[in-house]
Chains A and B, each alone.
Chain A
Amino acid sequence: MSLHTLMFGWEYPPRHLGGLGVACQGLVRGLINQNVKITLVLPFAADGSPDEIDILCPQEHHIQKIRVASLLLPYDSADLYAQRIQSVPHETAQIYGADLGHAVHVFTETSVEVTKHLQPDIVHAHDWMTYEAGLRSARHHDKPLVAHIHATELDRTHFHPNEWIYGRERWGFEQADHIIAVSNYTKNILVQHYGISADKISVVHNGSGEPQQGEPMRQPETTLARKKHPMVLFLGRLAIQKGPLHFLEMASMVHKHDPNVQFVVAGDGHMLPSLVNQAARLGLQDCTVFAGKVTSDEARKLYAQASCFVMPSLSEPFGLVALEAIAQGAPVILSKQSGASEVIGHAFKVDFWDTEKMADCVLTILRETPLASQLTAEAPRVLQRLTWENQAGKVVSIYNNLLRS
Chain B
Amino acid sequence: MPPRICLYFQVHQPYRLRDLRITEIGKGKTMNYFDHDKNHAVFRKVAEKCYLPANRLMLSLLEQYPDFSVAYSLSGVFLDQCEEYGKDVLESFQRLAQTGRVEFLAETYYHSLSSIQDTQEFCEQTTLHIRKIEDLFGMTPTVFRNTELIYSNELAQTVRLMGFKGILAEGTDHLLQGRSANLPYTPPQFRLPHAKEMLIARHRPFSKRSDDIAVLLKNYRLSDDVAFRFSDKSWVGFPLRAETFTDWLLGGGGHSVNLFMDYETFGEHQWEDTGIFEFLRTLPRIWQERGITCATPSQVIDAWEHTEAPVYDAHTVISWADTERDLSAWQGNQIQMSALRAIHDLGPLVKATGNADLIRTWRKLQTSDHFYYMCTKYWNDGDVHKYFSPYDSPYEAYRRYSHALCDLKSRVEPKHKQRTTHSKRHPKAKS
Contact = CB atoms under 8 A, between A and B. Distances in A.
B72 interface: no
Most chain B CB within 10 A, of A341, A367, A371, is at A371
A343 B382 CA distance: 6
A51 interface: no
A367 B23 CA distance: 13
Interface stretch (A161-169, A234-242, A276-284, A345-353): A345-353
A325 to B, nearest CB: 16
Interface residues of B, number: 24
Q: Helix, strand, loop or mixed for chain B's interface?
A: helix
Contacts of B344: none
A146 interface: no
Nearest to B339: A370
A368 B22 CA distance: 12
Nearest to B22: A363
A346 B395 contact: yes
Given A360-B21, A368-B398, A381 B382 contact: no
Interface stretch (A116-124, A125-133, A372-380): A372-380
A374 B379 CA distance: 13
A347 B396 CA distance: 9
Interface string A189-228: 0000000000000000000000000000000000000000
Nearest to B21: A360
B382 A371 contact: no
B380 A345 contact: yes
A374 B335 contact: yes
B269 interface: no
A368 B393 contact: no
B22 A257 contact: yes
B399 interface: yes
A385 B381 contact: yes
A109 interface: no
A385 B23 CA distance: 38
Interface in A274-308: none
Contact of B379 (A342, A345, A357, A377): A345
Interface in B281-336: 333-335
A374 B334 contact: yes
Given A370-B338, A373-B334, A356 B395 contact: no
Contacts of B402: 364, 367-368, 371
Interface string A240-257: 000000000000000001
Most chain B CB within 10 A, of A346, A356, A357, is at A346
B395 A375 contact: yes
B421 to A, nearest CB: 13
Interface in A303-344: 341-344
B88 interface: no
Given A345-B381, A363-B22, A371 B335 contact: yes
Q: Helix, strand, loop or mixed for chain A's interface?
A: helix
A264 B379 CA distance: 30
B403 interface: yes
B87 to A, nearest CB: 36
A360 B381 contact: no
A360 B22 contact: yes
Contacts of A375: 395
Contacts of A348: 393, 395-396, 399
Interface in B323-378: 333-335, 337-338, 376
A341 B23 contact: no
Contact of A382 (B19, B380, B393, B395): B380
B383 interface: yes
Most chain A CB within 10 A, of B334, B338, B396, is at B334
Contact of A349 (B19, B376, B392, B398): B392
B381 A368 contact: no
A364 B339 CA distance: 13
Interface in B383-431: 383, 392-393, 395-396, 398-399, 402-403, 406
A368 B338 contact: yes
Nearest to B338: A370
Interface string B5-24: 00000000000000101110
B398 A356 contact: no
Given A344-B382, A360-B23, A364-B402, 8 more contacts: A345-B381, A345-B393, A348-B399, A368-B398, A368-B402, A371-B399, A373-B334, A374-B335
Top 3 nearest A-B pairs by Cβ distance? A370-B338, A345-B382, A374-B334
